[in-house]
Amino acid sequence: MIHGGGWWSYISYDEKKDRPQISWSLIKRVWHYARPYQYQVLGLLATILVITGLSLIPPLLYQQLIDNAIPNKNATLLNWLALGMIAIPLINAAIGMWQRHLSAKIGEDLIADLRNELFSHLQQMSLRFFTHTKTGELMSRLNNDVVGAQNALTGTFISIISNVVAVIATLSIMISLEWRLTILSVILVPMFVFPARRVGRILREIRRDSMDLNAKMSGQLHEALNVDGALLAKLFGRQNNEQSKFHERSHAVAAIGVRQAMIGRWFFVFLGLISAVGSALVFWVGGHLVLQGEFTVGTIVAFGNYLNQLYGPLSFMSNAHLEFATSMVSFERVFEVLDLPVEIADKPDAIALNQVSGQVTFEQVSFSYTAGGDGGASLLGLAARNNGESEIEATAARVSTRGMAIEGISFEIQPGQLVALVGPSGAGKTTITYLLPRLYDPTAGQICLDGHDLRDLKQKSLADAIGMVTQQTYLFHDTLKANLLYARPQATSAEIEAACRAANIHDFITDLPNGYETIVGERGYRLSGGEKQRLAIARVILKDPRILVLDEATSSLDSHSEALIQEALERIMLGRTSIVIAHRLSTILAADVILVMQAGRLAEQSHRQGNQSAHELLLQQEGLYAHLYRTQFRTMMKQD
């Protein structure tokens, strides 16, 4: 560790920690994305060679001007030299514009491919991943890190190639002009190399820390500035606390930015001083050689110009390895996400279930939210490693400490049956509804649809077969029509209207000033709870699934909205296999099957038999259901 006064006080770096290395596997992986643009890359390299070659001509023109045109009073040569001094910058500028176009096109297209792949990969991640990962941190990977990767390609990569070519070409010309002065010029190179390597390692570490801090700040922004977060802060009067927390993180980002800027600034001041010393030394020795008649004044003037063209690229090249490694941090962070395993994926031989009858079977199903894939924990583990924690510690600090959410659950549902899930809060009812559409895979046992294990089916066909209406309805910040079309984009206006009529929401929509083109607002906050639920029901009706999974929570709604929703649910459940987390006695009485959950286990179950309902049969058992009926369900009779 280095401490002390002056600019070195901005540097704190552990020599044994995370020495930057350029991994060939990483370079090959980046090239995999660049391969489709290989011809544009070749064109880009060609422009670099041409621009570098043209940049070497002006000093030779100065030499001819001083040594030939002026002493010999050659007006023709003078005119041509002046024309060349104008033409070369113009040609260079034109080629530079084309080079910029090529680099921007390659960089933007390649990064678009990378961003698209990253987004597609995230779309395949399980629900566990999203419950364990902050959305703001994902946004940072998709935005900040991908932009950083783009800068690595369009900035650092081009600079490295350009400077390598410039150093080689300039040294060749300088040797041809005066080999002794060239040797004198390169003697100072070690003074560039060693400080540059050390500072480069420090800047790479700072760059990664800066990205982590920005990701945390983005995470807080996303949580605090969405509607739910803003509402929560206002209700609990925590705005000052949120501001304080954000100010702390914002200042941390600013501080590391200042540290990075100061290290870079002092370093380049140091390099500038070395360059000045080198130039003075060369002109001093060269001047004496001119006085001795070893070579001409034009030669030393040209040599001085080449010296300026040499030290700039040398300053960069002395740290090219570390600069490139630093710029690749963004690619590393993007690839870290791409390499996260997909917990729930289709098997290679997965089948598409096109005709679904709706038979559902749970066979000794157990599930734990803390077991199974590490899709969510992995990203937390990456952040934890960067902060010095182990992945296990990071995961343990964030995931639920619960054991099995459900254990040993077995039941069978026949096509077209209505199943009511009942039980106290936390009994495992919602977990069952999450397992059926395969938002999670069971820890043990199997779930079958029409005799097929869900893990043998293509997820797309499973999603097409199952429609789900949750208690918390999510709507996009878009029009009512767009939110409805999310279920079936090809639906006609007549089909949309029919679905809304069935959900008892059409009249409400037509009374709005903009009708179906009304913007619902962030998460649908411009609509009431009942309106959002009816819109969700309309969306599922439009999807027309064979199996329905419903959370029938209507206790927070007024009686009018509740009646409209109940009527809509009765319509949508008709003729479909329906699994309902039942809160209303009318649904429980109508159920063909009642499953009674307690502490993650199936305490009781009953199937309709002839004229006897599942409800009546359960009451006769005088068990948990009978107790729930007497203490909870019977109070619902007046509501029904």
Q: Quick check: 313 and 163 in contact, CB under 8 A?
A: yes
Sign for the CA dihedral angle at 8, 11, 16, 20 comes to negative
Which pLDDT tens digit goes with each residue over 563-603? 777 777 777 788 889 999 887 787 888 889 999 999 899 99
Select the more confidently predicted residue: 398 or 54. 54
Tokens of residue 345, six digits: 């994926």
Q: Quick check: 301 and 62 in contact, CB under 8 A?
A: yes
Q: Quick check: 327 and 152 in contact, CB under 8 A?
A: yes
Alpha-carbon distance 541 to 422, whole Å?
A: 24
Residues in contact with 41: Cβ distance below 8 Å, sequence separation at least 6, in sequence order: 34, 106
Sign for the CA dihedral angle at 570, 571, 575, 577 comes to negative
* Interior angle at CA 426, CA 423 and CA 430, nearest 5: 80
What is the model's pLDDT at position 450?
A: 92
What structural domains does the chain harbor? 24-338 (1.20.1560.10), 360-636 (3.40.50.300)
Long-range contacts, stretch 48-52, CB < 8 angstroms, 24+ apart: 48/99, 48/158, 48/161, 48/162, 48/165, 49/165, 50/95, 51/92, 51/95, 51/96, 51/99, 51/162, 52/162, 52/165, 52/166, 52/169
Select the more confidently predicted residue: 156 or 428. 428
Average pLDDT (380-385) is: 46
Give Cα 206 distance to the centre of its chain.
Answer: 21
- pTM tops 0.75, yes or no: no
Average pLDDT (505-525) is: 84
Q: Quick check: 479 and 373 in contact, CB under 8 A?
A: no
**Does an H or E element contain 408, and which?**
strand 406-413
Report whether pLDDT(555) > 70. no
Percentage, residues of the chain above pLDDT 70: 83
**Lowest mean pLDDT across 143-152, 172-181, 489-498:** 143-152
DSSP helix/strand/coil, 486: coil
Ramachandran sector of residue 293 (left: φ over 0; alpha: ψ -120 to 50; beta: rest): left
